[in-house]
Structure 1
Amino acid sequence: MKPITAILAPLGIVVIAGAAWWLLRPTDSDQFAACRSTEIGTGVASIGGPFTLVDENGTTVTDADVFTKPTLLYFGYTFCPDVCPLDSTRNADALDLLQDRGYDAQAVFISIDPERDTPERVAEFTDLMHDDMIGLTGSLEQVKVASQAYKTYFRKEEDGDPEYYLVDHSTFTYLVLPEHGFLEFFRRDETPEGMAEKTACFIDAAK
């Protein structure tokens, strides 16, 4: 008679192999898997959420009012000396490429400097960038809610000039699709072409 260990050892191997297959098995649960190029440690669902802000026409709007089409979302401020204009121009270029390919998309700019960025000021900025870029501002509390939802960071310079202060902030651009919410983020070194290509992939996968 074989020792009990000799009988159980192959069984153990089968059980372990089965467990490994279950954990590593391919799944079709993420319809956007082929489009993703970044990873969120806390999961994609942890980014994004409801907010209430004021648009460039002075109208109070919610996230549902804003995200009616594929959107490139950026948090910045109009007095930003370099980073925000460069990033917003890049986003506008990516939007042009998408629209040239027939995609109905838009860009959104949320100010993290509501003290100076009135709806009129935000409108001037976004109008210079792109006809389909929406500017949003609001009270500091409203902006904080939106910023926290998208895990962004901003901090007003404490010892700066009270009128010409700077605001330190994160610089990611987020891709948000209606009915899906946040799906991807783009770093500053991403090109307009790369952004357009990846965004198109997500839009197609959502159909």
Structure 2
Amino acid sequence: MTRTYALIAAGAVAALLGGTAGFILLSDRADRFAGCGGGQVAGGGDLIGGPFTLMREDGVEVSEAEVIDDLTLVYFGYTFCPDVCPLDLTRNAEAVDLLEQRGVMIDPVFITVDPERDTPEVMASFTDYLHPRMVGLSGTREQVEAAKSAYRVYASGPGEGDNYLVDHTNLSYLMHPEEGFLGFFRGDLPAAQLADSVQCFAERL
């Protein structure tokens, strides 16, 4: 009986220490990036991001590890979007250029939520117009749904006919291969402020 109690007590202490270590790591991360801005997710950043396989605009199938191999700004939308997506992606492209002028390189990525219309060829034309380094990702409906799920992205559709609209989450996610999700940015944040926030994160990585 005494031995049983001792084992239970030892397990409880180990669990407590493990929890303490996890808390210290989370606290260290929060302290390190404090003041950088970017929205956070209730429940923790581990809820955002994860494995996916998608078709790059050049027709090559890639994984999330191949796409997010450095500081990366990820946006979900669609090329037929009449207003929000072009504005958000243009803002992201402007921020990328501002950051490059400051010596900070960040990869802009655009993942479609409308793969039925957004073929790799369509994505290539769209992203090349917005920024020479922007990567467009499409794929099968199943592949896109998996990516949406990993990033907790909502999107309606597909609709009927050729001219349907897609209601969708319009946030830009700042990701890093080691740190994972760093923060999200809404579309109303100006390019200069977005660049300032991303630079803050970059300097503390």
> What whole-Å deviation, never above 9, does each CA across 1:167-203 have from its counterpart, x for those lacking one?
1101001001121111100011111011100001111
d(CA) in 2 for partners of 1:144, 1:58: 19
Q: Counterpart in 1 of 2:18?
A: none
- Matching residue of 1:28: 28
Percent identity reads: 50
Structure 2: distance between partners of 1:34 and 1:74: 23
1:64 aligned to 2:39?
no
1:203 is matched with 202
Per-residue CA deviations over 1:1-60 (Å, capped at 9, x if unaligned) read xxxxxxxxxxxxxxxxxxxxxx9xxx4343223324433112111111110000000000
Whole-Å separation in 1 of the counterparts to 2:197 and 2:191: 10
Q: Is the 8 A contact 1:78 1:125 kept in 2?
A: yes
How far is 1:104 from its partner? 1.6
How far residue 131 of structure 1 moved from its aligned partner, in angstroms, is 0.7
The answer for the alignment partner of 1:106 in structure 2 is 107
Partners of 1:36 and 1:168 in 2: CA distance: 26
Query: For residues 187 and 193 of structure 1, what CA distance do their matches in structure 2 show?
Result: 13
Kindly tell me: are residues 114 and 37 of structure 1, through their superposed partners in 2, closer, same or farther at Cα, counting changes over 3 Å?
closer
TM-score (norm 1): 0.83
Tell me the distance in 1 between the aligned counterparts of 2:107 and 2:158.
Answer: 31
| Counterpart position of 2:176 | 177
For the aligned residue pairs, the C-alpha RMSD in angstroms reads 1.7
Equivalences for residues 26-105 of structure 1 within 5 A: 27-30=27-30, 31-105=32-106
Structure of higher CA gyration radius: 1
Please state whether the residue corresponding to 2:137 is helix, strand or coil. strand
Cα shift at 1:107: 0.2
Matched residues in 2 for 1:171 and 1:44: separation? 18
Number of aligned residues: 180
User: Secondary structure at 1:154's aligned position in 2?
Assistant: coil
Distance change >3 Å, CA 114–CA 48, structure 1 → 2: same
1:204 to partner: Cα distance: 0.8
Contact 1:56 1:119 in 2 (8 A): yes
Q: Secondary structure at the match of 2:174?
A: strand
Q: Is the 8 A contact 1:107 1:133 kept in 2?
A: yes
Q: How does 1:6-25 map to 2 (within 5 A)?
A: none
